[in-house]
Structure 1
Amino acid sequence: MPSGQTTLEQVLPLLQVRIFAYDCLRRTFLGEPSKEFLRTVSHEGFIEGFPFAEDSALIHEGAENVSEYLKNQDVLSEEVHDKLHWDYTRMFIGPYELPAPPWESAYLNKERLLFQEETINVRRAYLKYAFLPKDFGHEADDHLGLELDFMYQLSELAEAKVSKQDIGGLVEVLRDQKAFLEDHLLKWVPEFSKQAARHAQTQFYEGMVKILAGFLELDLKALEELLDINV
């Protein structure tokens, strides 16, 4: 980022890239893949051009995994669609022991219990922005898909602050995103990603968890650069 005076409009492209990335990632991990989502990611260049892929070996490797899978499998067929559903279900839902539980507390809580202090801390971050998870009270707030959805919502809010020329509001949102990355996602997603990549039965999820881990790491740097801009 340039160190001189920068207009708010000049930071928009990076903000919009972050919206795109978090939208893709939240839709990947919020639930089993819909055919609509699979049709979207199958578009030529969608995964290959994932943000920051040229700056991250992990994102690049993950994108290659997903791209190869999409080229060799008809993901809209019932057979392949069912395989992807099962891969998501057995890793992230059950009914058997989960190889890669998708909750923050499963990695940071000694007893690996849900709805503990870790969950409450995540809820506090949500409440500042009146973010109420869809299945509040039934799904733990620290589910990966919900944490990514929160980052997506704040990314959209940051773009809205630029439209309103609200520099102070933009800085506050970006600082809160940086804090959420450091205090939550980056504390457990790297380990989650390793476990999920190891146990995935499809290249699709093997690749997507690599993309996830690589993107979060570089997004922290992007936020640091955005907060260092003189506007």
Structure 2
Amino acid sequence: MKLAVHDIVTIAQRRSQTYDMLIGIFMTLPDESFLKVLFSDETFHFFSQYRQVNHPSLTKGIDLIFSFLEKNKNAVSFEGKDRPHQLIEALAVDRTKLIRAPYQGSLRAPYENQYRKGLKSSNLQLNLKRIYQDSGYIPVHSGDTMDFFSIQLDFIRVLILKMLAQPDSLKELIHLQNQFMSDHIISWIKEYTEAAVSHAETDFYKGCLYFLEGFLDLESGYLKELDQDR
């Protein structure tokens, strides 16, 4: 069913928020501010909306996240001298192990070149650099190579924001998102998330990995259909 421009733009707003949330979750080193956002009503509402979507990975991920929040709600205190240091440390260690220092080398880091067999890294980096430059995109995490997962997610997020600012260019921007999702993100991210889940120590990051996998699976199908309809 072909969507009207208004519907595409409305959905785009939600999509950009979701990418922003996922990038924030995985790229922020947990601290007290992180916990305040995590245990906020806004975060609960955000995941509750996706809980209504019929997708096994999303459901599994959100259930794990909600279980984590329920189990730890009494351990979080932001008053006086009682600070949730143990919870912050557990999350920080888990996040670092999964994203920045994969566990004992048995988990490959979330870079496309680590998961695409027969792909020369230098060619991949040049190709991604060209794609980003052609779209006027400047990676926010300049210390990482072009194939780092958060940079690829952020690129899609920026293209979605362009849709909101340039509705006359919807066709081209949808095609670019679909092509990039198909050629790059979706071709390797599931292998990473499935491997990372077995190494995650906290239900929070296990849940987020499942959520990431499910959301990107939905995105891939949505973009394909949208691209064909335009």
Query: Which moves more between the two structures, 82-91 or 183-192?
Result: 82-91
Alignment partner for residue 92 of structure 2, among 71, 75, 85?
Answer: 85
Contact 2:28 2:34 in 1 (8 A): no
Aligned partner letter, 1:55? N
Which string of whole-angstrom CA distances, capped at 9 and with x for unpartnered residues, describes residues 110-150 of structure 1? 59x8x5322322222211122122343x3111111111111
What code does the residue aligned with 1:94 have? A
Q: Percent identity?
A: 25
Evaluate the alpha carbon distance shift between residue 85 and residue 205 of structure 1 in structure 2; reply closer, same or farther with a 3 A threshold. Answer: same
Structure 1 stretch displaced more, 152-161 or 190-199: 152-161
Aligned mates of 1:189, 1:78 — CA distance in 2: 31
Secondary structure in structure 2 of the residue aligned to 1:48: helix
Measure, in 2, the Cα distance between the counterparts of 1:208 and 1:97: 21
Assess if the C-alpha contact under 8 Å between 1:19 and 1:156 holds in 2.
yes
1:155 aligns with 2:168: no
**Segment drifting more, 51-60 vs 146-155:** 51-60
The count of residues paired between Structure 1 and Structure 2 equals 219
Q: 1:126 to 1:75 in 2, by over 3 A?
A: farther
CA contact (8 A) 2:178 2:220 kept: yes
Which residue does 1:13 correspond to in 2?
10
Q: Which residue of 1 aligns with 2:181?
A: 181
More helix by share: 2
The amino acid that maps onto 1:43 is S
Question: What is the alpha-carbon distance in structure 1 between the residues aligned to residue 48 and residue 159 of structure 2?
Answer: 23
Instruction: Kindly provide the CA deviation profile for residues 33-65 of structure 1, in whole angstroms up to 9, marking residues without a partner as x.
Output: 354344333234335325475121110110110
Secondary structure of 1:134's partner?
coil
Mapping of 1:1-231 within 5 angstroms? 1=1, 3=2, 7-44=4-41, 45-51=44-50, 54-73=53-72, 74=75, 77-94=84-101, 96-97=104-105, 99-110=107-118, 116-136=122-142, 138-162=143-167, 166=168, 169-229=169-229
- In the alignment, structure 1 segments of 5+ residues that lack a partner are none
- Tell me the TM-score normalised to structure 2 length: 0.84
Cα distance in 1 for partners of 2:200, 2:21 equals 19
Give the Cα–Cα distance (whole angstroms) in 2 for the partners of residues 127 and 16 of structure 1. 24
Give the Å deviation of 1:209: 0.7
CA distance 1:22–1:89, change in 2 (3 Å): same
Equivalent position amino acid for 1:133 in 2? P
Structure 1 residues 218-227 or 140-149, which shifts more?
Answer: 218-227
Q: Quote the Cα distance in structure 2 between the aligned partners of 1:78 and 1:64.
A: 24
Q: Which moved more, 1:120-129 or 1:58-67?
A: 120-129
Preserved CA contact (<8 Å) 1:26 1:149: yes
- Asked if the contact 2:68–2:204 (Cα under 8 Å) also holds between the matched residues in 1, the reply is yes
Deviates more, 1:47-56 or 1:63-72: 47-56
> RMSD over aligned Cα, in angstroms?
2.4
How far residue 225 of structure 1 moved from its aligned partner, in angstroms, is 3.5
If the length of structure 1 is used for normalisation, what is the TM-score? 0.84
Aligned AA (2:131): A
2:109 corresponds to which letter in structure 1?
P
